Structure 1
Amino acid sequence: MALNSSAEQPQPLGRVIGAVKDWVGRLGEVWVDAQVVEIKRRNAPTQFMTFRDRVANMSAQVTVSTMVLDAAGPIPEGSRVTARVRPRLWDRDTSLSFECLEIQVAGEGRLLAQLEQLKRKLQAEGLFDGHRKKRLPLLPHVIGLVTGRDSDAERDVVTNVARRWPAARIRTRHALVQGANSAESVMTALAHLDADPEVDVIVIARGGGSLEDLLSFSDEGLVRAVAAARTPIVSAIGHERDYPLVDFVADLRASTPTDAAKRIVPDHATEAAGLSQARQRLDRALLTTITREQSRLDAVRSRPVLVDPTSAFVAHYERLHLLRHRLEAGIDRRIRTEEADVRAAVTAIRALSPKRTLERGYAVLVDAAGHRSVSSVTDAATGDRIRAYLADGELSLDVVGTIGKEPEHG
């Protein structure tokens, strides 16, 4: 019922707000088709969302309980949803919002929600952990390729690998990359290449497409097969903005098939140029080292001891000659001194020698037996025979008389 009012009889504002709130409440619950543009989660029982019409430029604020929001599963922003809502008008500021009683992800959003749930499950199992990822070989000899037959992705990988590293060989296993049986087909091709001992790395390549087109590369069985593969796996699915679940479990994600070729083999021209530069640097380093060592060797060889090895002995020879001269001079002086001493001793001995006395005309007298010297007239009597020793011989003498010296009287 409309409220009667006029300038003379206006209605109280509170009554008008109450009437509007009553009219809004009569709308009751209604299912709406909308797009989620924002979700504000907080640590509280009530969460806030923003819905926008999928065609018209209109939006609305929505409150939802944490239980209802969690029951709907992951809802990425931008998802299309179908929600059962009830409008509410708040008395204090007359703001209009909607209370969400139930929400379901619709269309592509439903797929995104399902993929998000699977992603969380696999991540919880540790299949995305970095320590599980294998290192790619530096220079693969045989490259396995899983891709669609006659696809642009195949041509991109083969052409770029051949251009960058012509010696690399590619073994291709064609598979269905879209449709109901595509995941199983890719798994079969992957298992065949993974069992080949000559294959060093495997590339799974597909061009871009819609979410549904790439859905098989988020298949749980394929993701687990990639995680269990013995050979390093490179995923090159779609374009740079596409992220199927295989990307998270692969050992390396390439943004495009062309990027995959660049990531698995080096560029021959770049490597050749780098090798040439390295050889030039090595040559210069060796030349510098040889020059430096040659300079050191020349400096050593120019030293006097190496120019004339015997020059070091000259000073020693001179000192030895000086010492020898001193020694000979000392010996000569000592000999002359000793000779002088000997001559003096000989002279003294000769001066005191009885023979010297005999040579002056004296004689030594002894008895006939030669045992007793005769030094006094009293030592011999007349008729005794005595012996006289002269300088040049001896004489036998007979005493015929004695002439004694008169004793002196005092």
Structure 2
Amino acid sequence: MTADADAILTPSQLNTLARDLLESAFPLIWVEGELGNVTRPASGHLYFTLKDARAQVRCAMFKPKSSWLKFIPREGLRVLARGRLTLYEARGEYQLVLDHMEEAGEGALRRAFEELKNRLAAEGLFDSERKRPLPAHLRRIGVITSPTGAAVRDVISVLARRWPLLQVEVLPVQVQGETAAAQMVAMLARANASGRYDALLLARGGGSLEDLWAFNDERLARAIAASPTPVVSAVGHETDFTLADFAADLRAPTPSAAAELMVPDQRDAIARLRALQRRLATLQVHRLRQAIQRADRAFLRLHAQRPQARLDLLRRRQQDALRRLRQQWHQQQQRRHATLRHAAAVLRTCSPQRRLQQLRERLHALRLRPQGAMVATLRRDALKLRALARSLETVSPLATVARGYALITREDGTLVRSVAQVERGDRVQARLSDGEIRLRVE
């Protein structure tokens, strides 16, 4: 709305002009401040003021935007709000109409972290029953981290020192920023799909809460909990805790500590191997002595036993085996003969010649059946026809005419039932039993 300098405006016109100017000059703005005078009437709308040490501005957040908030607005809470500047014409005051509002600062991150942590814990995502132990002997692991950070260097160094046989593959991702969580989720999916790794290590060095915020992403926590491959989380320092730590199968205070927890020290393994070698040598000597003793006792028993008796025993066993073999063969032959006899009887019962004779007899019976049915049907129809003819003759006017009566009709075919239907000079027809007569009325 426009007006020249001499125009006279009403208050409503002035407010409309001011509102249009405000909305066109400030289409969408962000404001950070402290909440005050928070009210939420039954309508579900939210009204409050945003203030700092020197000024305040009225704000409104209408339903359903106000119902989508992830926190409870309360007095003194510092927030970051987005909205458009407009004029409330009823009071002639400008106000902010908001479409988004979130808590500001690290305190807001802490509260959001606690809320999400409690919700996921209530779902059982962090239960100890879900966590799986690491394999006793790892052959290959994947380290999901930044390829340029100090954490990956510490991890590789500790693993190489403690267990050189382990194959370590670095799976590069961003560990900070808006896209970091999505990259880690995608890398977890690819690592699990490959089936190459016995375990996965999710690692990052220390930092502020904002720096570590990607590891508090809900999607990442759910991906870690659902991973078929055991996941170790080593994010930040010992005092830093993220949702990834709670969802992982094992949490390490630092990346270096994670490397120490995942593999044994080669010096301990070498010591155990040497002890096992000594034990194996002792056991071999003991078993060899036992074998020598058993061989000596067997030699004495063989020397004491006559070879002819051994041969007689073997001959008897051979004869028994041959007898059982002949008996089993005879029984098997009898079963096969019985099966053949039964098959021959079945085959005779199902002989094609016999089956063909049955089909001929059935065909002959079927041929006679339609002829009898047709004769019976014709007889029934003839009887019905005679009955209908008698009924028709009973009600037919021709029967009456045959007894000496006549049917009088006009030229248009109308039946004359009364003398009132004709006049002098009209032509009519008389229908008799043997023909028609044309008549004129006198």
Tell me the TM-score range normalised by the shorter chain. Answer: 0.3 to 0.5
TM-score norm. by structure 2 comes to 0.42
TM-score norm. by structure 1 comes to 0.45
- The structure that is helix-richer by fraction is 2
